[in-house]
Structure 1
């Protein structure tokens, strides 16, 4: 069970390092300002349009499928008792490099404006052949910003090397207690099969990820019949062999060479309605009652229809097996409680945040550059209009990270975390607001 706690150690050192890192990154942003300012101004997506028709909201419905408890118990009985986040963090076998130790090419993927105040690059050897995916943190998991005594960042990666077991996905658990020393290790994402006698790898890129209470919600790409998978962070299983295979093998259990595997505990299937919306980017909004999961779909820049944004209510019931899951009706359906259409396309990151005292939430959309080349844009949008961050003498809007990644707001620190290329970075939400206003 989660043990709550807060540490105040090294705060002065952290503040100093953050200031120095911010100064270094500001110089990086200045160096790339000219190339960003030459980019074409992005199209204004306009105001959000509420989606209220039954036909429109039915397309956002998901149907819950729980992995039977006996399956999970059978897997644990065969593999050994599950371990928690603390055990995984204690096994950190890789280190992230601070921005000053990253190459100029790696830093090119950082935003120009607003500039990141903290940034790190991943271990080259560990990420070769893998594509970066979504990011979430213990700031999502719990209001105190910690899981137990630790500050934690979770980063999803998908295999991209053409190997026979291609399509695998993993999550890297990052110990973020010391901003100057981020260690991590990874667990393979899996799905129990054969009644819990075996498991297979999650055969899809991870497009979005939210850690809420003890559940990790993960969205998948087109091609998977299930649009959303759920994992329990207290059900991480150790493997017994480093074989480059997945599942039960002669002599034990394997996870493509990783030391841990995380089996799914539930999944959510798309609606049978024509034009069903597949959740792509997702994030957590604590400004609603109850807390909610917000989602966007991915529509291509040359698509002929609007993009849909919506939210699902999250469960806060005391039942430990259901805590952290989306709210379902009596038929096991997850229904959207709010939905909009937007003119924005190629959304790679999404936030919904309601400032203190505000009557409504603001939606922040990280949009990829056209054709995935160049810099992306960051928009704030509501039912009255939209505005993008700008940079350069010509007020270009191509100021955000190149391949716009997921957005995760850490309320305790006021930071928005994201990932682009090999760079993991944080930008204060106040800096984003300043750049927009």
Structure 2
């Protein structure tokens, strides 16, 4: 080959490499633009699909297991007379910071739209190494959303699957929220002792005089029942839990609340792997727009788990009678049945709320730095809250949690990591696309 031919070949090679490099850059830019565009619009879960087959509904059946009265009385006799919610609130020794005192990083976890109308931040030293769980309010106690004269918010927390506690928050003065901790426990040894609830709290519902708590992990997946008239004072200040020399301890907290019963899955252990297995109950909330009032639930399905999974939503009637107020409605054998159930394409549901015909589901962000999505679904379709006039839907809190609605105040309470916040349900409707 002549020298001129070799130069011509080199020029053609350089031109081809330049063309390929330019094409690669163009494709990369296009992919980045597509990715960024997709990041502003969450995957539409579509309409809810009713589940009506007997087999599907039977997987949602629960079995009630009340603690024998003798067990509860023996524990109360050993620890002293139980105290009520008002006594716990009067002894509140901690305060939540107002939004003005929250840090910039704490405020960044709040929803972009609709904006929170009230926000309060937990002390980092009081919540370090603890995971926030369910939120519920005194809105399920009386028509005025109060427990006696008090307006109360309960916030559940868990630590490494070893301890579970509830902050009893006095929310009567919106400018100054105070609280104290109550340890959740389970009676053992026939009421002669108790142990910590060694599970992760994922949801809570306060209805009448009962607190219903969903907890998972450590082989303790169940719906636990606590009686808010059976809060016991710890008699010994110690990091231990249960009977100790000289009395009873509650991991250093002033109060402990032993469970008065549980609901377990009649169909056996739950699974997050298939659509046709027994669902793992995760998020729960109270719906007072139904007759009778009901407890609604969403199952735990991993977000973007690489499989085509759906999530189930369902509800149980609540018993409002004087004798069983706060418990699920059951038949003669203590069985609670789901009266309504649906399937949604949404996964990674952290909080669920049902009011009238709509189901509200919050979902975490796909990335560590993004915001989550809040969907409203019914049997006709779905819509997400939007951040403005554009199509951006990733505008809910970055770390979504439990949802709780107070019918009298019209407020929805939730929690984003270290921030407790509230906003009107009507503002969610205004922000829906």
Alpha carbons 1:270, 1:278 under 8 Å: kept: no
Give the counterpart of 1:316 among 312, 317, 320: 320
Structure 1 counterpart of 2:418? 422
> How far apart are the structure 1 equivalents of 2:231 and 2:192?
16
RMSD: 1.6
Name which one, 1 or 2, has greater alpha-carbon Rg: 2
Report whether the alignment pairs 1:283 with 2:285: yes
Alpha carbons 2:279, 2:300 under 8 Å: kept: no
- Count how many residue pairs are aligned between Structure 1 and Structure 2: 389
Equivalent residue runs for 1:132-147 within 5 Å? 132-147=132-147
- The alpha carbon displacement at 1:37 in A equals 9.1
Judging changes above 3 Å, is the alpha-carbon distance between structure 1 residues 414 and 37 closer, same or farther for their aligned structure 2 residues? farther
Structure 1 counterpart of 2:311? 307
Give the SS at the match of 2:429. helix
Give the SS at the match of 1:156. strand
User: 1:217-259 deviations in whole A, cap 9, x for unaligned?
Assistant: 0001244344200000110000011200100011111110000
Alpha carbons 1:152, 1:173 under 8 Å: kept: yes
Structure 2 counterpart of 1:169? 164
Report whether the alignment pairs 1:391 with 2:419: no
Structure 1 counterpart of 2:11? none
> How far apart are the structure 2 equivalents of 1:282 and 1:272?
19
Equivalent residue runs for 1:7-406 within 5 Å? 39-160=39-160, 166-272=161-267, 275-301=277-303, 302=305, 303-319=307-323, 322-354=324-356, 361-370=357-366, 374-391=370-387, 394-406=390-402
- The alpha carbon displacement at 1:421 in A equals 1.1
> How far apart are the structure 2 equivalents of 1:347 and 1:409?
17
Give the SS at the match of 1:409. strand
> How far apart are the structure 2 equivalents of 1:141 and 1:39?
41
Give the stretch that moved more between structures: 257-266 or 270-279. Answer: 270-279
Give the SS at the match of 1:139. helix
Structure 1: gaps (5+ residues): 1-35, 161-165, 355-360
Alpha carbons 1:372, 1:403 under 8 Å: kept: no
Judging changes above 3 Å, is the alpha-carbon distance between structure 1 residues 328 and 372 closer, same or farther for their aligned structure 2 residues? farther
Judging changes above 3 Å, is the alpha-carbon distance between structure 1 residues 224 and 418 closer, same or farther for their aligned structure 2 residues? same
Give the counterpart of 1:407 among 403, 409, 421: 403
Alpha carbons 1:225, 1:270 under 8 Å: kept: no
- The alpha carbon displacement at 1:392 in A equals 5.0
Give the SS at the match of 2:206. strand
> How far apart are the structure 2 equivalents of 1:298 and 1:432?
24
Alpha carbons 1:170, 1:188 under 8 Å: kept: yes
- The alpha carbon displacement at 1:413 in A equals 1.3
Give the SS at the match of 1:337. strand
Judging changes above 3 Å, is the alpha-carbon distance between structure 1 residues 133 and 45 closer, same or farther for their aligned structure 2 residues? same
Judging changes above 3 Å, is the alpha-carbon distance between structure 1 residues 284 and 169 closer, same or farther for their aligned structure 2 residues? same
Alpha carbons 1:111, 1:400 under 8 Å: kept: yes
> How far apart are the structure 2 equivalents of 1:147 and 1:292?
19
> How far apart are the structure 2 equivalents of 1:252 and 1:350?
40
> How far apart are the structure 2 equivalents of 1:214 and 1:132?
23
> How far apart are the structure 2 equivalents of 1:348 and 1:277?
15
- The alpha carbon displacement at 1:100 in A equals 0.4
- The alpha carbon displacement at 1:371 in A equals 5.7
Judging changes above 3 Å, is the alpha-carbon distance between structure 1 residues 78 and 37 closer, same or farther for their aligned structure 2 residues? farther
Query: Normalised by the size of structure 2, how large is the TM-score?
Result: 0.87
